[in-house]
């Protein structure tokens, strides 16, 4: 569902966003404030609950024209799930009285992201986004990641400074 700017006033500009991109909002939640002559003149609300995706280029100060799409509200795809509960909308996806993994609603989440927290799963597309953000971060910092696989135990090394000075510890 598209949320459009419906005010008849001219010279309106966007104020602060009142919801985060990709977050789940309830019915009647405020999405955006708008300003006239630099003063907050009103709020744009959502008529239904869902996940918010703001229109591109919508920044504070941007001129708003009547009919312009402000944001899109879509159904939650349950992209982050922990123990059969959606991390975005908070819905319990498990069948009543069901066991772990028995879901009453479909979820796109199926990739486990943290080695020792297998019950936290995210969708393919979100896993790829997180992975490519990590890669971009490493490339921009000119760092490499070393993965050491010791008898099924994976040790992740990072560019974070070590708590102990390695030169003083002879075993390192
Ligand atoms: Zn959800």
pLDDT in tens, 8-58: 777 888 888 888 888 999 999 998 898 888 888 888 899 999 999 998 888
Q: How far is the CA of 100 from the centre of ligand 1 (A)?
A: 17
The alpha carbon torsion through 122, 127, 130, 134 (nearest 10 deg) reads 130
Phi, psi (5° rounding) for residue 151?
45, 60
- Is the pLDDT at 171 greater than 60? The verdict is no
Token look-up 């922990």 returns 82
Q: How far is the CA of 130 from the centre of ligand 1 (A)?
A: 18
Instruction: Identify whether the C-beta of residue 53 lies closer than 8 Å to the C-beta of residue 72.
Output: yes
pLDDT per residue over 59-75, tens digit each?
888 888 888 888 999 99
Q: How far is the CA of 92 from the centre of ligand 1 (A)?
A: 9
Token pair in block for residue 149: 């696989």
Q: How far is the CA of 47 from the centre of ligand 1 (A)?
A: 18
pLDDT per residue over 83-141, tens digit each?
989 998 999 988 888 888 788 888 888 889 888 888 899 999 999 998 899 889 989 99
Q: How far is the CA of 123 from the centre of ligand 1 (A)?
A: 12
> In the CATH hierarchy, which top-level class contains the domain 2-74?
mainly beta
Q: How far is the CA of 80 from the centre of ligand 1 (A)?
A: 7
Report the pLDDT value the prediction gives residue 102, as an integer from 0 to 100: 81
Residues of the chain within CATH 2.40.50.100 domain(s) are: 2-74
């Amino acid at each position: 569902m598209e949320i459009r700017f419906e005010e008849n006033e001219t010279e309106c500009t966007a104020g602060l966003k009142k919801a985060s991109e990709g977050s789940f909002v309830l019915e009647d939640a405020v999405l955006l404030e708008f300003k006239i002559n630099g003063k907050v003149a009103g709020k744009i609300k959502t008529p239904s609950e869902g996940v918010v995706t703001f229109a591109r280029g919508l920044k504070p100060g941007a001129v708003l024209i009547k009919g312009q799409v402000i944001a899109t509200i879509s159904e939650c795809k349950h992209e982050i799930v922990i123990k059969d509960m959606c991390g975005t909308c908070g819905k319990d996806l498990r069948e009543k009285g069901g066991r772990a993994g028995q879901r009453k609603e479909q979820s796109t989440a199926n990739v486990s992201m943290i080695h020792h927290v297998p019950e936290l799963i995210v969708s393919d597309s979100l896993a790829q986004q997180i992975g490519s953000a990590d890669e971009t971060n490493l490339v921009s910092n000119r760092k490499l990641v070393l993965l050491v696989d010791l008898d099924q135990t994976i040790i992740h090394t990072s560019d974070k400074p070590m708590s102990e000075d390695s030169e003083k510890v002879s075993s390192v």
